[in-house]
Structure 1
Amino acid sequence: MIKVNAIGDACPIPVVKTKNAIKELNGPGTVEVLVDNEIAVQNLTKMAVQKGYEIQSQKLEEQKYQVIMTVGEGGEGMEKQEDTAEETVCIPDSRNHKIVVISSGRMGEGNDELGEVLMKGFIYALTQQDELPETILFYNGGAPFTCEGSPALEDLKQLEAQGVEILTCGTCLNYYGLSEKLKIGDVTNMYVITEKMMQADSIIKP
């Protein structure tokens, strides 16, 4: 693994440093990048998607984010020598004033097992969007998604690292006995949930 410290670096330096580190791999391998803001994470994520790298990201603490890119066997996603500096651009914040509301562990009506698979797939698909929601609200049956044992934790960590606010209803956590098991985001209340919904340009409920 090659480690890149880009904390304090302005765009496009984190992307440039990461591209150089990937070239140093000269084959399959992993690059870990540390940055201090969500926009840098968004830029690195966009680059990874374009190049075909596997990527994971998470917020470690305030103003410290970890991005891990993996180049696969056979050199998938390797940087090409003809890549030019013009390809390295600073994208604007990709978050928009949309709210995603997840109030169930399942998506749609019908088979419960299928519904659970669909909801997990929906959360993953959010990580692949060019425009991200500003906030994801979890309440009632959706509350366990932010807690220990959730199948969506890694996807939610990646979204949080890109600046998406993750909020879970505190009353719901208490009801389900999950107050001590929250692993991602913050606890919220019905006043904040209502305020977020009222101020949103649009609300998406899968």
Structure 2
Amino acid sequence: MNTIDCRNMACPAPVITVKRTLEELGEVRVLLDDGAPRENVTRFAVNRGFNVSEEQCDAAWALSITHGVSAAVKPTASVESAETVFLITSDRLGDGPDELGRLLMKNFIHTLLETGNLPSRLLFMNSGVHLTTEGSAVLEALGKLAGMGVEILSCGLCLDFFGKKDKLLSGGTTNMLTTVETTLSNVRVIRL
């Protein structure tokens, strides 16, 4: 199995490199930094039906990505069964006074818990990542949503920009490749 070194690469380069290598070779061993790169590559591979095993090597991680039972291309869902994804790009909802916008966003996320039709994923970008980090008023609600099967993902680059990567308390990190693929796939994306 070939080994590629994706340590010290900026997001989303590790995922793109692994994607291209898997398309060419079908399996790979990849060296990664801990944190977002490891999470993003693992999620990418698992979501495509690959098996992932990992081992810690000094300050890095080695992931072995091999063919899984369903590593073939997955069929796309029909329009009728399309998933709903919320792309949350701010910690406020709507235009107007910031205080009102924050209150509306808090109420929106809490109200999601009361609906019978949950989104499959919440993607947080830009100042939206403040909602998934220490000090957020919606962490408990996000935890409940995650417990109900909603995937909670925050942009790793955004967390870095705001100095909050080590303050992420709800969900995992994601990258622009996953965000673009999600918005281009057969899902209904609602931007807040």
TM-score, with normalisation over the residues of structure 1?
0.53
State the distance in 2 between where 1:153 and 1:200 align: 29
Cα distance in 1 between the residues matched to 2:120 and 2:186: 9
Gaps spanning 5+ residues in structure 1: where?
1-94
> Alpha carbon RMSD of aligned pairs, Å?
1.4
Determine the structure 1 residue equivalent to 2:113: 127
Normalised to the residue count of structure 2, the TM-score between the two structures is 0.56
1:167 aligns with 2:156: no
Equivalent position amino acid for 1:155 in 2: A
Which residue of 69, 76, 86 maps to 1:100?
86
Could you tell me which of 109, 114, 124 is aligned with 1:138?
124
Q: 1:96·1:134 contact (CA, 8 Å) conserved in 2?
A: no
Is the contact made by 1:166 and 1:184 (CA closer than 8 Å) also made in structure 2? Answer: yes
4+ aligned runs moved over 3 Å, structure 1? none
State whether residues 97 and 134 of structure 1, in contact with CA within 8 Å, keep that contact through their aligned partners in structure 2: yes
Q: CA deviation at 1:201?
A: 2.6
Per-residue Cα deviation, 1:122-142 (whole angstroms, up to 9, x for no partner): 111111110110000001010
Cα offset for 1:180? 0.4
How far the C-alpha of 1:203 sits from its partner, in A, is: 1.2
Give the aligned partner of residue 10 of structure 1: none
Asked if 1:187 corresponds to 2:173, the answer is yes
Counterpart among 197, 201, 204 of residue 183 in structure 2: 197
Output the amino acid matched with 2:149.
G
Provide the rounded CA distance (Å) in 2 between the counterparts of 1:205 and 1:193: 12
Q: Does 1:149 align with 2:132?
A: no
CA distance in 2, matches of 1:96, 1:131: 12
Separation (CA, whole Å) in 1 of partners of 2:186 and 2:139? 24
Counterparts in 2 of 1:96 and 1:121: CA distance versus 1, 3 Å: farther
**Contact 2:82–2:188 at 8 Å: present in 1 too?**
no
How many corresponding residue pairs?
112
Q: What is the match of residue 118 of structure 1?
A: 104
In 2, the alpha carbon distance for the partners of 1:122 and 1:101 equals: 13
Work out the percentage of aligned pairs sharing the same amino acid: 42
- Please tell me the residue identity of whatever aligns with 1:195: E
For residues 142-185 of structure 1, give each alpha carbon's deviation from its aligned partner in whole angstroms, at most 9, with x where no partner exists. Answer: 00111111100000000000110000000000000001000011
Deviations along 1:61-104, one digit per CA (max 9) or x if unpaired, are xxxxxxxxxxxxxxxxxxxxxxxxxxxxxxxxxx9610011100
User: What's the counterpart of residue 59 of structure 1?
Assistant: none
Matches of 2:107 and 2:82, distance apart in 1: 21
**CA separation of 1:181 and 1:157: change in aligned 2, threshold 3 A:** same
